Amino acid sequence: MRIGELGRRAGVHTHQLRYYEAQGLLEPGRGSNGYREYSDDDVLTVYQIRKLLGAGLSTEEIAYMLPCVSGVSLEIEPCSELMDVLNARLDGLDERIDTLTRSRRALHDFIKNTEMRAPQSCETTHSDAERAAHPKVSPGGR
């Protein structure tokens, strides 16, 4: 099948398929006319790539993993190197979540403390703040 048909069957744009090929994730054959030729197995491969990207894996990590992946449910052959890649990705996500949680907590505390210190007469409404940030210019340019 050609790239357009693979895109339709896999539910992705052809530029994504070309990107996957450039990243070494798809390896289409070439017809005598030079056009890319894909097999039915490539539909499953694209599905697997999309699922792995959705899990936050990079295309480099996916290229490493893809030979060990089978089926629609992404059955992965266990091996220590592969588990190291997955665990490293999970550790990275956990670190980013922890950092974001700390940042969120600090920002929430700043807002809470500032609101408690602000006298009622100093509070501005959202529309007042918008007018102050974006004053209108008169027709004369002043």
Confidence (pTM): 0.67
What are the tens digits of pLDDT across the range 65-90?
888 888 888 888 888 888 888 899 89
Cα separation, 4 vs 97, in Å, equals 39
